[in-house]
Structure 1
Amino acid sequence: MMTYADEEQIEDYLFKIVLIGDSAVGKSNLLARYARNEFYPNSKSTIGVEFQTQTMGIDGKEIKAQIWDTAGQERFRAVTSAYYRGAVGALVVYDISRRQTFENISRWLDELHTYSDMSVVTVLVGNKSDLKDVREVSVEEGTAFAESRNLCFIETSALDSTNVQLAFQTLVKEIYNVLSRKVFFYQEQKPDAKLINGKTVVLQEKDIESEEKPTRKAWCCSG
């Protein structure tokens, strides 16, 4: 979503990002570490939806990331279209020490694509990289899966903070880059379009259907 004020003001961006994945893979602790630099070793799932808002600057623009956490709903298969609606980015998280959580990633991606109402920039996250002694999913497996689905890939540890900031910041920057390309293309195709003060502009796929879509290979940063 891109909101335009008047021409003299800097554009503000609000990106809705969702955290998805099996229960107990560390989604809430990833968000707590990123937003508040906190970690809860004995945290229990909270029923409901929680979100944190973080702000960062890119190219002189103020970017607000509203990051949503399922907060335990995934245990009851209660994550629905309302949670995904409006999301432009997603961190899909598994636990490197529990293979089943990795094998369930395809289901989460299918659900994301089913319920989201637009193309969603996605990063695959292998969390709990500190648990090297009990690892069940290799970096190579994570990378290969990400490549097969054209996703970015990164391993993190909410416990020791490894790559947590990088994961969120990379996702936000990639969303910004994708949106910037779409806005540029939209303005090139429709130079006479007028932006009305205060109007929220949502770019639809039909507006960019003839745009060349660059192939993006998966990358891995396991720190």
Structure 2
Amino acid sequence: MASSGGYGDASQKIDYVFKVVLIGDSAVGKSQILSRYARNEFSLDSKATIGVEFQTRTMVIQHKSVKAQIWDTAGQERYRAVTSAYYRGAVGAMLVYDITKRQTFDHIPRWLEELRSHADKNIVIILIGNKTDLEDQRAVPTEDAKEFAQKEELFFLETSALEATNVEEAFLTVLTEIFNIVNKKNLVAGEDQANGNPASLSGKKIVIPGPAQVIPEKNRMCCRS
């Protein structure tokens, strides 16, 4: 069973380090999502990220200590050439848009294309519609995002960094799926070496319709209500 670790329990032995990148347009709340997850903080006067920043947090997944190294990339156009190098080595990505700004959702395919051209093909990706606390200003229907996520085989959740809604669940979904893929890869590699076959890995992901509840195909116990 997956459980979240504390904020700053650095003394324990780390079994895995997973690099996760946050991408999406400027001002969609990437830094606030990271701040809420890594430090359980939210700042109303958050300034735009310049270049790249990262935070870490350690969690326990299936009795293993997993350190998430989460990179927050600047959304502004002029920084994108700089940040593209930071996709390298990432095993997870959070593709964030603002549910109150349609344009930020319309740009998601472009971000996804950039991600897929720079990142490992087995990267675990979750689409995140942030700012559900502004429901009365919603410009992107949940169904539109869910349909896009299903088509692209992405996980999907709607979050509120302000209200701490689904932020923990979003990271846990991504990290648990990465953990499962890594373990499956090790298992498959061991079996294939014994059989004389090269290692193979498939990371198919599915979206389960419901109240923003997304569950990996391989492990239906990762997401808590």
Alpha-carbon spacing, 1:222–1:214, altered in 2? closer, same or farther (3 Å): closer
Question: Hey, what does 1:139 align to over in structure 2?
Answer: 142
Tell me how far apart the structure 2 counterparts of residues 104 and 39 of structure 1 sit (CA, whole Å): 25
Alpha-carbon spacing, 1:152–1:79, altered in 2? closer, same or farther (3 Å): farther
Deviations 1:178-197 (A, max 9, x none): 1111111001011399xxxx
- Computed over aligned residues only, the root mean square deviation of the Cα atoms, in angstroms, reads 2.2
Deviations 1:123-174 (A, max 9, x none): 0000001111110001111111100101110000001111011111111001
| 1:218 aligns to 2:207 (yes or no) | yes
Alpha-carbon spacing, 1:137–1:73, altered in 2? closer, same or farther (3 Å): closer
Tell me how far apart the structure 2 counterparts of residues 192 and 11 of structure 1 sit (CA, whole Å): 31
Q: CA deviation at 1:72?
A: 4.7
AA aligned opposite 1:19: L
Q: What number of residue pairs does the alignment pair up?
A: 199
| 1:176 aligns to 2:168 (yes or no) | no
Q: Select the structure of larger CA radius of gyration.
A: 1
Unaligned stretches of 5+ in structure 2?
A: 1-12, 214-225
TM-score (norm 2): 0.82
Unaligned stretches of 5+ in structure 1?
A: 1-9, 194-205
Question: Hey, what does 2:45 align to over in structure 1?
Answer: 42
Percent of aligned positions that are identical: 55
Match of 2:35 among 17, 32, 36: 32
Higher mean C-alpha displacement, 113-122 vs 162-171 = 113-122
Any conservation in 2 of the 1:81–1:116 contact (CA below 8 Å)? no
Higher mean C-alpha displacement, 41-50 vs 98-107 = 41-50
Q: CA deviation at 1:118?
A: 4.2
Q: CA deviation at 1:58?
A: 1.4
AA aligned opposite 1:129: T
Match of 1:67 among 59, 70, 83: 70
Question: Hey, what does 1:5 align to over in structure 2?
Answer: none
Alpha-carbon spacing, 1:78–1:56, altered in 2? closer, same or farther (3 Å): same
**3-state SS in 1 of match to 2:199:** helix
Q: Which has the higher contact order (CA 8 A, sep 6+)?
A: 1
Q: CA deviation at 1:44?
A: 1.1
Tell me how far apart the structure 2 counterparts of residues 118 and 22 of structure 1 sit (CA, whole Å): 22
Question: Hey, what does 1:122 align to over in structure 2?
Answer: 125
Question: Hey, what does 1:23 align to over in structure 2?
Answer: 26
Q: CA deviation at 1:80?
A: 3.8
Q: CA deviation at 1:18?
A: 0.1
Q: CA deviation at 1:42?
A: 1.7
**3-state SS in 2 of match to 1:25:** coil
After the TM superposition, which residues 158-177 of structure 1 pair with which residues of structure 2 at under 5 Å, given as runs? 158-177=161-180
TM-score (norm 1): 0.82
Q: Which runs of 4+ in 1 moved over 6 A?
A: none
Tell me how far apart the structure 2 counterparts of residues 139 and 49 of structure 1 sit (CA, whole Å): 29
AA aligned opposite 2:98: D
Alpha-carbon spacing, 1:72–1:142, altered in 2? closer, same or farther (3 Å): closer
